[in-house]
Amino acid sequence: MTQTAEQLLQQGLFHHRQGQIPLAMERYTEVLRNNPQNAEALYYVAVVACQEEQFQQGIDLARRSLSFQRGQARAHNLIGQALHRLGKAKDALAAFDEALACDINFVEAYGNRANVLGELGRRAEALSSYDRAVALRPESAVDWLNRGALLQDLGRAEEAIASYDRVIALDPDFAAVHVNRAGALGERGRWDEALAAYDRAIALDAKLAEAHLGRCFALGRLGRLEEALAGADRAIALKPDLAAAHKARARALQGLGREAEARASLDAAGALEAQPPAGLAKAP
């Protein structure tokens, strides 16, 4: 019995959600063999292309989908995400705005739009977009986390902490939010609480170098220099190219009167900072 396009798409979506991409693509491709203008199948193939980091291909497919079915907020949103990954922030923002023009309540576009606005330095607009995202989908831990990080960058630490607390209420085992929350607590001089938050992050993910580094800062502020040194060493063991950890180690060593070792750590930090960013060629 011949299957309808709708049946094939539903099968494809089932496999897609199970992570069975080749099986999903078989179904999507069969739909397109029968009808190359099927906008829904084109959209799902575009999603697969983006998941496989073939971003330009994903953009082209999503635009083809839109040529056959206008007004798809999700297709504009996907184009925006792909453009963002290609480093085209302004074009990505325009795509997210197109998504919202199609559907003013398309929540994913608000969070994505906010991320781009923050990168473009338009932080007040970014905050407004995050606010809209969490108003529409208050269970979105990622949007609350990103909102908190933006508030922290704006120097609004107490509001950032409140946003992080919302994340923890939604997902207590989200290690990264405990690191961010600890940083905001430190900015308010609440070092004992910050230390407890770093400890919680490490309990959840002992390999999180940034948590060990933050713990080192907190211990240093509390005058517990030997423990701070151990924290810096652990951060370096996990991520040897983390220049900030070498600097933190130097500060702890200086506080302990171990000047020669401190200078060596500062030299190591300086050497790391002098290296070009990953992916850039060194000057000839």
* pLDDT tens sequence across 111-153: 999 999 999 999 999 999 999 999 999 999 999 999 999 999 9
Residue 121 within a domain: no
Which letter does DSSP use for residue 139 in this model?
Answer: T
Tell me the C-alpha distance between 183 and 215, whole Å.
10
- pLDDT tens string 189-213: 999 999 999 999 999 999 999 999 9
Q: Is residue 13 part of a domain?
A: yes
Can you state the percent helix, strand and coil of the chain, rounding each to 5? 75, 0, 25
Q: Do 51 and 21 contact (CB within 8 A), yes or no? A: yes
Give the predicted TM-score (pTM) of the model: 0.84
Domain that holds residue 58: 1-70
Q: Which residue type sits at 158? A: E
Q: Which residue, 121, 173, 176, 114, is CA-closest to 145?
A: 176
Q: Residue 284 domain-assigned?
A: no
Instruction: State how far the alpha carbon of 29 is from the alpha carbons of 9, 26, 37, 68, in Å.
Output: 10, 5, 12, 17
CA–CA distance, 165 with 260 (Å, rounded to integer): 42
C-beta of residue 219 within 8 angstroms of C-beta of residue 231: yes
In this prediction, residue 82 carries a pLDDT of 97
Residue 39 belongs to a domain? yes
Count of the separate structural domains present in the chain: 1
**Structure tokens of 149?**
């990080």
> Would residue 84 count as lying in a domain?
no
User: Is pLDDT of 2 > 80?
Assistant: no
| Residue 11's CATH number | 1.25.40.10
Distance from C-alpha of 212 to C-alpha of 178, rounded to nearest angstrom:
12
Tell whether the torsion through CA atoms of 270, 271, 274 and 277 is positive or negative.
Answer: negative
pLDDT tens-digit series, residues 39-98: 999 999 999 999 999 999 999 999 999 999 999 999 999 999 999 999 999 999 999 999
Report if residue 4 sits inside a domain. Answer: yes
What would the pLDDT profile of 160-175 be if each residue is shown by its tens digit? Answer: 999 999 999 999 999 9
Residue 38 within a domain? yes
Structure tokens at 16: 């897609």
Residue 44 located in a structural domain: yes
